[in-house]
């Protein structure tokens, strides 16, 4: 085990934001708000920045320069990239508040976390403006309106120390940086808790609690990091995918309390309800390959894994499995 060297993940600048809001009128929120937030932010951003008013971004000369298309259309870095992937990951991940249907009374607070990947971090002012406009449009059933009070930015990745960068009181945007944090030593055994549904597919079908294995989970994470690095990073070539997959073969996975949770969202673009269920619960990982994969797993906490990450799905956090059992 001591001879295994940690795999160096690519450099992916991450900007972690937290939008602090206040309800202006009753807000009836669904059990999971990720889809609602994504929809209202996308519509508000498009209305704010689109100068052509074309019905779609396809064929638009401004597509590669537009804040809306950067976030929601994600143009490929090259024709080769477009040819190799059917769908490209967006440069952001949402982190809504914990699932649970609720009503927010006027004056009460609600929050939304968002991680921006790579150059998308420079577009923070556009997102703040979009959130202000989203508050006027409303969120949830009956479109309850809210007010953006402040925006916080995490100063050290995963350190949970947040610096105010914007306040509605003075409407001034301050500069801040989210610094990477060394992951520290890998534990001998790892506990991975899924906070939002994990959607993984194999041979055309989604994996349930009994189907999930280390290859499906960690292989998908390695691929996601590699693609994000190619699109939004600066040193994609440093990530040794072959070494990562060799280490995955030396990891065992044990599910402790996994269950399938169904989630339904309404797609305004397709005008239909969509089922986006996935597995949620706790996994224990062990084996000599964890040492090599530890930096990748730590990074994945902020990038999420699986499908629909831009809605906030596939969110997980890590803990020492030995300490958790004690």
Question: What's the pLDDT score for residue 2?
Answer: 44
Which residues make beta-bridge pairs with 33?
none
Q: Which residues contact 118 (CB under 8 A, 6 or more apart)?
A: 12, 13, 91, 228, 231, 232, 233
Q: Is the pLDDT of residue 174 over 60?
A: yes
Segment 60-76 shows an average pLDDT of 86
Architecture of domain 14-173: 2-Layer Sandwich (3.30)
Q: List the chain domain ranges.
A: 14-173, 189-325
Q: How far apart are the first and last CA of the chain?
A: 23
Question: What's the pLDDT score for residue 219?
Answer: 96
Equal fold, 14-173 vs 189-325: yes
Maximal C-alpha separation, the chain: 60
Q: Is the pLDDT of residue 271 over 70?
A: no
Q: How far apart are CA 217 and CA 306, in angstroms?
A: 8
Segment 99-117 shows an average pLDDT of 92
Q: Is the pLDDT of residue 322 over 90?
A: no
Question: To the nearest 10°, the Cα dihedral for 303, 306, 307, 312?
Answer: -40
Q: Is the pLDDT of residue 196 over 90?
A: yes
Segment 227-237 shows an average pLDDT of 85
Q: Is the pLDDT of residue 39 over 50?
A: yes
Q: Is the pLDDT of residue 323 over 80?
A: no
Question: What's the pLDDT score for residue 256?
Answer: 74
Cα 48–chain centre separation: 23
Architecture of domain 189-325: 2-Layer Sandwich (3.30)
Q: Is the pLDDT of residue 326 over 60?
A: no
Cut 0.85: pTM above it:
yes
Q: Is the pLDDT of residue 108 over 90?
A: yes
DSSP string over 105-164:
PTT-EEEEEEEEEGGGGGGHHHHHHHHHHHHHH-BTBTTB-EEEEEEEEESBTTS--EEE
Most confident listed range (46-55, 174-183, 267-276): 46-55
Residue 177 binned pLDDT confidence (cut-offs 50, 70, 90): confident
CA distances from 46 to 50, 77, 101, 125, 131 (A): 5, 21, 28, 14, 12
Question: What's the pLDDT score for residue 63?
Answer: 86
Residue with more model confidence, 177 or 15: 15
């Amino acid at each position: 085990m001591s001879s295994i060297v940690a795999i160096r993940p690519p450099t992916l600048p991450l900007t972690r934001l937290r939008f602090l809001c206040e309800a202006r009128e009753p807000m009836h929120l669904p059990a999971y708000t990720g889809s609602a937030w994504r929809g209202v932010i996308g519509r508000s951003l498009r209305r704010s920045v689109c100068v052509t008013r074309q019905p779609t971004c396809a064929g638009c000369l401004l597509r590669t320069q537009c804040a809306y298309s950067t976030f929601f259309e994600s143009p490929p870095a090259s024709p080769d990239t477009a040819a190799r992937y059917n769908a490209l990951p967006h440069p952001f991940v949402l982190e809504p508040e914990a699932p649970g249907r609720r009503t927010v009374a006027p004056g009460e607070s609600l929050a939304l976390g968002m991680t921006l990947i790579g150059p998308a971090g420079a577009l923070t002012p556009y997102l703040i403006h979009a959130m202000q406009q989203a508050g006027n449009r409303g969120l949830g059933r009956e479109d309850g309106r809210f007010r953006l009070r402040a925006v916080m930015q995490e100063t050290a990745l995963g350190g949970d120390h947040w610096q105010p960068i914007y306040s509605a009181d003075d409407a001034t945007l301050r500069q801040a940086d989210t610094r990477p944090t060394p992951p520290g030593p890998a534990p001998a055994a790892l506990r991975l808790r899924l906070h939002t549904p994990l959607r993984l597919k194999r041979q055309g079908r989604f994996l349930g609690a009994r189907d999930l294995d280390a290859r499906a989970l960690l292989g998908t994470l390695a691929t996601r990091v590699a693609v994000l690095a190619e699109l939004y990073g600066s040193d994609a070539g440093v990530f040794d995918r072959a070494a990562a997959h060799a280490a995955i073969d030396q990891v065992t996975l044990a599910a402790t309390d996994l269950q399938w949770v169904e989630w339904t969202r309404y797609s305004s673009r397709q005008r239909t309800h969509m089922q986006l269920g996935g597995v949620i619960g706790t996994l224990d990982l062990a084996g000599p390959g964890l040492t090599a994969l530890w930096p990748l797993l730590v990074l994945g906490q902020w990038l999420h894994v699986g499908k629909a990450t831009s809605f906030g799905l596939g969110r997980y956090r890590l803990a020492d499995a030995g300490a958790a059992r004690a």
